[in-house]
Amino acid sequence: HSGHAENERADQLARDAIAKLRELFNSDIPALLLSGDTGHERGRDANEQGLTLLQKPLTQDQLRAAVARALVPANTLSTTVPG
């Protein structure tokens, strides 16, 4: 029980910190949430805040791919226009 509560509290602190930074800089700063909690509410909470939830453990390749996706601007087109 205490492990679950600790994960939940840590996740909430992380989400709060991200929200505060986004507010402070008035920007949708890319962020990922890494969690050991596998509950569905964690994913829902992260999605509502515009975060990608990564569940531990994860590989270096999974982390790299998630960081790369998070750093792609939202208004970037997925296709290239010949020019």
Tell me the mean pLDDT per 10 residues along the chain, length 83: 77 92 94 83 82 90 94 66 53
52: Cβ contacts below 8 Å, ≥ 6 apart: 32, 33, 46, 66, 69, 70
Give the per-residue pLDDT at 26. 96
pTM of the shown model: 0.71
37: Cβ contacts below 8 Å, ≥ 6 apart: 4, 7, 8, 11, 55
15-26 b/e (C-beta count within 10 Å ≥ 16 → b): beebeeebeeee
Give the per-residue pLDDT at 1. 54
Give the per-residue pLDDT at 35. 87
CA pair distance 31, 70, nearest whole angstrom = 7
Give the per-residue pLDDT at 69. 92
